[in-house]
Amino acid sequence: MQEGISLHGLARGPSRRWVALGVVCLGQLMLTLDTTIVNIALPSIQRELGFSAAALTWVPNAYLIALGSFLLLGGRLGDLWGRTPMFLTGIAVFTAASLACGLAGSPGVLVFARFVQGVGAAVMASGILALIVVEFPDPAGRATATSVYTFVAIAGGSLGLIIGGWVTQALGWHWIFFINVPVGIAAFAAGRVTLERPPAGEARRGVDWVGSALITLSCLAGITAIVRSENVGIGSAGTVGLLLLALALLVAFFVVERRIPDPILPPRILRTGSLTVVAGSRWLLLLGNFGAFFVGVLYFQHVKGFSPRETGAAFLPQTLLVAAMSVGPAIRLARRFGLLATFLTGDAAVIVGIGWLAVVLRPHTPYFPWVALPLALMGFGMGTAFISSTQLGLADVARGDAGIASGVLNMSQQIGAATGVALLGTIAATRATALEHRGVAMADALCSGYRLSLALGAALVFVSLVAAGLLLHDARPGAPSRV
C-alpha cells in the first residue's frame, strides 16, 4: 500500500475503505448499466449493422449468458487468488470489450465482444460483495456500505435506460459502449491505489478446473435455453435439449465436487442454510422484478409510444424509491424489526406493485397514479428487500468463503434477471400473438399479454416470500457474523 499512500491521501487511514467502496460500486454501476443501456439502442444497431430480428436478441443476451455463467468461477478464483486482483482483471476485460463493442462493424464481432464483456462483468461482480464484507467488518459500516451497493445495483437498470436514450439520440449507439472506457480506466487506477491486496504467497492454490468447466457449461446451456425460448418456444426440441444438457452437467458437477479436495463450490457452502435459501429467494425476486421491468419497457414504447428518454424517465418513481430506501431507512427498519421481517416486507411490496400493474395495464391507463404508484411500490420493495437479503445471505458464511458466497448470490441475481426477461417476455408475446390472430386490436392484445406475464411474476415473488418466511431465521444487522 505504500504506492497508494504516496499517490493519494485518500488511500490512507479510515477514509481508504470508503474510497474503496466507491471503486467497487463504480464497477457494479458499469455492469448494471450494461444490462439495460443496450436495449434502447437495439433499433439503431439493427439498422446500421444489418442484424436480423432473431439475431438481434443476442446483443443483450450474449452479455447476460456470460455474466450469469462465469460468476461462480470468478468468485472461487477470487477466494483462491485474491479478490482485488480478480476485480481489477474483470474491470480491464470489461473495459477492453466495451471498446471492441463500440468499434464493431459486423453482427458477429458485436455479439462476441458482448460475450467477452459479460465475462469481464462476471469476474468483476463476483468479488464486489466479498470486498465489501472484508472492507467493512463492523456491522454499522457494513450496513451503510450495503445500502450504497444496493442503490447502485438496483437503480442502475433505470439509469441505463435514461442514459441509453440520451446517448443514442445525441451521439449514436457506439457511445453507449465508449462511455465505459474512461470510467473503466478511472476505476482500475483507483482500485490499484485503494483496494487491499492479499499477502504474497497467501493464494495461488489449486483450481478445480473440471468442476469449473462443468458448472460454467451447465449455466451456459441453461441460460442459453432460456433466452432462446423467446424466439423458438419453451417447448421446442432445441430448448428442451439444452435444458436436459444443463441438468446432466449440473448433476456431474455435484458428483465431482463431492470427490475432490478443493472444489469450486465446497459442500459446506451448500450446507449454509441462510445462503442457499436467500439465493433461491433472490432468484425469484429478481425474476419477477426484472421481468416486470422488461414488460414495462415494452408497454411504454409499443403501447404508449414513449421515446427512449421518456421511457427511462417513466421508471424514476422506482429508481427514486430505491435510492430513498438505500440511504438509511431500510437499515433502520432492519435494526428495529430484524432482517427477515424487513426482507419479507420488501417482498410483499414488490408483489403488490407487480400485481397492481397486472390489473390496471391497459392502452389508455393514465401514467399517474395507476402506473407511477406501483412502480414506486416496487422501488420501495427492492430497496428494502435487497439490503436485508444480502446481509441475511452472508451472515453465516466464513471469511474465507466470502468470494464464492458472493458469487452464489450474484449468480442467483443475474440468472433471475435473465430468466425473468426471457420467461415473462415469451409469455407476453405468445399471448399477444394468439389474441391478434383472433382479431383483437394490437394494443389490447399486447396489454393482455403484459398483464398475464405480470401476474405470473407476482406469483413467483410470492413463492420467494413464502420460502423465506418458512426457512429463514430472523436476525438484526448488528448480530455477530463469521465474515
Instruction: Supply the DSSP string of 415-451, one letter for each residue.
Output: HHHHHHHHHHHHHHHHHHHHHHHTT--HHHHHHHHHH
pLDDT of residue 483: 39
Tell me which residue of 438, 161, 420 sits closest to 315, measured CA to CA: 161
Query: What are the domain boundaries of the chain?
Result: 1-205, 208-263, 266-483
Task: Tell me yes or no: is domain 1-205 CATH 1.20.1250.20.
Answer: yes
Half-sphere CA count of 9, side-chain side, radius 13 A? 0
Q: What is the 3 state secondary structure string of 116-182?
A: HHHHHHHHHHHCHHHHHHHHCCCHHHHHHHHHHHHHHHHHHHHHHHHHHHHHHHHCCCCHHHHCHHH
Q: What is the pLDDT of residues 404-417, one digit of tens each?
A: 777 678 778 777 87
Block residue for cell numbers 466464513: 398
CA distance 154 to 35: 11
CA dihedral sign, ordered 396, 401, 402, 405: negative
Q: Is the peptide bond before 137 cis (omega within 30 degrees of 0)?
A: no
> In a 3-state reduction of DSSP, which class is residue 200?
coil
Distances (CA, A) of 71 to 128, 197, 281, 347, 359: 11, 21, 18, 25, 36
CA distance 422 to 229: 7
Q: Which three cell numbers stand for residue 361?
A: 395495464
Alpha carbon 4 to its chain's center: 31
List, for the chain, all residue ranges whose pLDDT scores fall below the cut of 50. Answer: 1-11, 200-204, 479-483
pLDDT of residue 265: 76
Predicted model pTM: 0.78
Q: Which residues contact 469 (CB under 8 A, 6 or more apart)?
A: 340, 344
User: Which amino acid would we find at residue 293?
Assistant: F
pLDDT of residue 206: 62
Tell me which residue of 244, 253, 269 sits closest to 212, measured CA to CA: 253
Check if 1-205 and 266-483 are the same fold: yes
Tell me which residue of 427, 428, 419 sits closest to 461, measured CA to CA: 419
Class of domain 266-483: mainly alpha
Helices 139-170 and 316-326 pack at an angle, to 10 degrees, of 160
pLDDT of residue 7: 40
Q: Which three cell numbers stand for residue 54?
A: 432473431
pLDDT of residue 2: 41
Structure letter (DSSP) for residue 399: G
Helices (H), 50-106: 53-56, 58-69, 71-81, 83-103
